[in-house]
Amino acid sequence: MRSRKPSSRRGDLRIVQYGLGAIGVACARAVLETEGLVLAGAVDVDPGKAGLLLSEILEASGGKPSARVDGPASRMTVAATLARALDGRRADIALHTTQSSLRRVFPQLRACMDAGLSVVSSTEELALPFATEPAIARKLDALARKKGVAVLGTGVNPGFVMDILPILAAAASRDVRSIRIERVLDAGKRRASFQRKVGVGLSPSEARRRLHEGGFGHIGLLESALLVASGCDLHPDEIRETSHPVIATRAMKSAFGTVRRGEVAGLHQSLSGLRRGEEILRLDVVMALGVSDTHDAATIDADPPVRLRLEGGIPGDTATIGALLNAIPRICAASPGLHTALDLPIPRPFARTRR
């Protein structure tokens, strides 16, 4: 029998929520609810949001209204720029949830760093930018060092379920020969904007056209694959991404009404990493209505082999909020610069709702 003292109360961290889409609104709400965090400002470039009271946006978002929109937060307006949101006040960290494209968000990240904020961002292309966008990554890293702040791109996918978790699962094995990772989720349980993103209700030809155009479906499969390759010392010499619509075999309910048989129920996206023609890396993500066996899994061919499974799977939205908030203490303790999940201490739960 032993006793442990509870850790001392953490000093409050001042957080700016940058971006108030579905994830950003949920993040802002979570910051308001979380012990040790204070919401110091909210930014959205959308002229339809800037100038509104944050409390209005939170109420309109449909989730349970936060009991914590009180004190200064009850009068907080959404600012169109970071400078206006801060208005000379100090803050510690930006939770940045705007877009997937690193090129597009670069000016936003720069503004955060210029204001002396460390950044935790959900931008998928920031998960392993040294591999995918080396020039921008070097620029971000240099700027972060100069300003003495730390920057991390993370989230649930990429950043957790299809990369970091499988990498750790392989960490007691030698001679990793191949890794197969799959994520199967029920799009019917996700919000309307997610269902739209995976083509629910489109005709198959329209879905194929959009897949061909790009920027459609899940963004970040390449980042996950490169994280796994880097983390497991696998060296594919060729990477192939293929995607196809999942066709409804019966009528199903969606956020936009009934999807008929023959219409698109979702997407199946795959990435294959080959070395000398042999598949050493395989990632599959299935996001469709009517999927019953939702799960996350990884099969690692190594000594010993590992078969990991998350029964029911990790739900995307709530886990994204968790992953972003839980990254806060690690980014606070990190050295200045641009980081990836591979060079920081292991992610762990931190966020607790105030009592």
Q: Which residues in this chain contact a second copy in the complex, by CB under 8 A?
A: 1-7, 30, 34, 131, 156, 160-161, 164-165, 167-176, 222, 226, 229, 231-233, 235-240, 302-304, 306-312, 314-315, 318-323, 325-326, 341-353
Q: What angle do CA 108, 20, 196 make, to 5 degrees?
A: 105
Measured CA to CA, the distance from residue 19 to residue 25 in angstroms comes to 8
Dihedral sign for Cα 135, 139, 140, 144, please: positive
DSSP, residue by residue, 219-277: S-HHHHHHHHHHHTT---SEEEEEEEEEEPSS-EEETTEEEPTTSEEEEEEEEEEEETT
DSSP category for residue 187: G
In sequence order, the β-bridge partners of residue 245 are 267
CB of 300 to a second copy, least distance (A): 8
CB of 260 to a second copy, least distance (A): 32
CB of 271 to a second copy, least distance (A): 11
- Non-local (6+) Cβ contacts of 188 within 8 A are 195, 252, 253, 254, 289, 290, 291
- Cβ-based nearer residue to a second copy, 258 or 318: 318
From edge to edge, which strands make up the β-sheet containing 118-121?
37-43, 13-18, 93-96, 118-121, 150-153, 337-339
- Cβ-based nearer residue to a second copy, 240 or 261: 240
- Cβ-based nearer residue to a second copy, 252 or 351: 351
Dihedral sign for Cα 10, 148, 102, 58, please: positive
- Cβ-based nearer residue to a second copy, 166 or 199: 166
Tokens (6 digits) for 311? 């029964």
CB atoms inside a 10 Å sphere around CB 333: 10
42 half-sphere exposure, CB direction, 13 A CA radius: 31
CB of 312 to a second copy, least distance (A): 6
Whether the CB-CB separation of 313 and 185 falls below 8 Å is answered with yes
CB of 304 to a second copy, least distance (A): 5
CB of 329 to a second copy, least distance (A): 10
- Cβ-based nearer residue to a second copy, 79 or 211: 211
In sequence order, the β-bridge partners of residue 151 are 119, 338
- Cβ-based nearer residue to a second copy, 20 or 298: 298
Amino acid (one-letter) located at 217: G
- Cβ-based nearer residue to a second copy, 108 or 154: 154
Residue with tokens 């009592």: 355
- Cβ-based nearer residue to a second copy, 21 or 329: 329
CB of 156 to a second copy, least distance (A): 5
CB of 320 to a second copy, least distance (A): 7
